[in-house]
Structure 1
């Protein structure tokens, strides 16, 4: 398109609905885990109400608190992977209950918090919160002018990052700033950072 500053071959994937990431963030706050670690994300903007004290008292909260940073690191690392274009087709063609299907599911979904924390960590409250987050994301996606979209607004910083390998931006609904390069092609930022052109450009700059 004449006059379009967007490089014709530049494709940037935006992921703001990484389920394993969102669920793990909810678990941290709803169970009041308060894990400690050198590189943990800030708290959620939409903070869930803590689960009832009696429910928390009956759960292995201390073990979950210790496991959370490790699980976060594994889930975040998987979020940085670029999915093979044919993985869904390969999954459909694999045999039920086969080792191949199990490996493909692991590649697609990634490490699960259930493996370390167990299904009890995700009660119905989690699904209600996830649904509310989905509704919030949908409301933010109402059509806006092309030049007002975050990637267009920060295009001068996005193009050099793309030249350095950036192909995916992962967004998390956490307060403040949390900007990390994960893998060779992915940048993770908070929703607030991506919504602010100056902050977004500042986050994109160090990708090279």
Structure 2
């Protein structure tokens, strides 16, 4: 039986979220007009819960951290203004910590899925220090680890998250994969210089950054535009 070439969309769980991997299976008989390289695999981190929580906290509590390289506002704003909830001391501490938490959480979101790490986890005993260490390495840093769950234990967050997830679910299936195929030549160029992962965030306007050696951070609005997406991919040259 002759093998055929096809693109596959694989979904796996990471930190309780779906991560989509677009790839094409190897083929013994490539389809003549199919330009997707047989060994190219691009993972799209569509909704990192840890990043979303940081973005919501910054906006809901009206934190105004210093930094020239921070992401823009959310495209769906929190309904309630919680600026008066934290004490002045808490606000100062949260504001000072936000940029470094964003940087470390984003760096983790940009890492490729480590199957060996998950295999090691499966071989550890429940409750063991080794298992706890591996779980922390897999899940990565978070606001909750630093400050506890209090800032997120609010109806405003749950309502906002429901709204955002409903908007996400209403999009056409495979929209990110369509963007990859739409601008395939630029995607291939970025992949050949190291890009294996794209992290999207639901923020306003154009904002993109290279994350480490392999990942691209981009707003969903920017990825939806061919011109803007191509400009973002040029970070890998």
Task: After superposing the two structures, state which structure 1 stretch, 114-123 or 54-63, moved more.
Answer: 54-63
Count the aligned residue pairs. 206
Higher share of residues assigned strand? 2
**Residue in structure 2 matching 1:20, options 44, 47, 50:** 50
For 1:83, the equivalent position in structure 2 comes to 113
For 2:198, the equivalent position in structure 1 comes to 169
Structure 2 unaligned runs (5+)? 1-30
The 1-side partners of 2:169 and 2:95 are apart by 32
Question: Contact conserved, 2:201 with 2:218, CA < 8 A, in 1?
Answer: yes
Alignment of 1:62-77 (within 5 A): 62-77=92-107
Shift of 1:89: 3.4
Q: Which has the higher contact order (CA 8 A, sep 6+)?
A: 1
Helix, strand or coil at the partner of 1:96: coil
For 1:2, the equivalent position in structure 2 comes to 32
Deviations 1:48-105 (CA, angstroms, capped at 9, x unpaired) = 1244455345881121011111111111111111121233333232112222112211
For 2:229, the equivalent position in structure 1 comes to 200
Shift of 1:12: 0.6
Deviations 1:107-158 (CA, angstroms, capped at 9, x unpaired) = 21101112323211112322332232222222114367x9x81111111111
Give the superposed CA RMSD: 2.0
Deviations 1:1-59 (CA, angstroms, capped at 9, x unpaired) = 23111112111111111110011000000111111112110111101124445534588
* TM-score (norm: length of structure 1): 0.90
The 1-side partners of 2:232 and 2:183 are apart by 10
For 1:180, the equivalent position in structure 2 comes to 209
Note closer, same or farther for the CA distance 1:117–1:154 as it changes in structure 2 (3 Å cut): same
For 1:140, the equivalent position in structure 2 comes to 171
Question: Contact conserved, 2:60 with 2:83, CA < 8 A, in 1?
Answer: no
Question: Contact conserved, 2:45 with 2:200, CA < 8 A, in 1?
Answer: yes
Shift of 1:197: 0.7
Helix, strand or coil at the partner of 1:188: strand
Helix, strand or coil at the partner of 2:234: helix
